[in-house]
Amino acid sequence: MARITGIGGVFFKAKDPRALAAWYGETLGLAIESWGGAMVRNDGGPAFAVWSPFAADTGYFAPSGKPFMINFAVDDLDGFIAQLEARGVAILKRADEGEMGLFAWLMDPDGNKVELWQPAK
């Protein structure tokens, strides 16, 4: 039987795709390709990606009004937050969630909520 083998990408609309891609490259360190996106590999990261629908009235994506949120796994949440704060990026919240690991949230320039996740060891 045919089956899904992984998450193939995250695709969304942006007011200015080039500017937003540049922000993700400069601020979050994604290697932006000439076609405008990035190939994100699980380089030592989690062996899985999470797929999870949320209730239509969830507040989890707030303060974003968008119907999605982007999650990036990181190897050192404290170090990554320090790099972001040095660039003037505000961290909305940080949470130590126990069995799943450590989390922090920020907003990108288009108002998309970004979740950073350091998986539990």
The whole-number pLDDT of residue 43 equals 83
- Residue 48: how many CB atoms within 10 A of its CB? 11
Residues 6+ apart with CB under 8 A from 65: 111
Residue 96 has a pLDDT of 84
- Hey, which bits of the chain come out as E strands? 70-73, 93-96, 101-107, 113-119
pLDDT of residue 71: 95
CATH architecture of 56-119: Roll (3.10)
What DSSP line would sit under 56-71, residue for residue?
TT-STTTT--SS--EE
Query: 75 near 121, Cβ under 8 Å?
Result: no
pLDDT at 113 over 80: yes
Q: Which residue has the higher pLDDT, 112 or 44?
A: 112
Three-state DSSP state, 78: helix
| pLDDT reported for residue 42 | 85
Query: Does the structure show a pLDDT above 90 at 99?
Result: no
Give the residue-averaged pLDDT of 95-112.
92
pLDDT digits (tens, 9 = 90+) for 34-91: 999 999 988 888 888 889 999 999 999 999 999 999 999 999 999 999 999 999 999 9
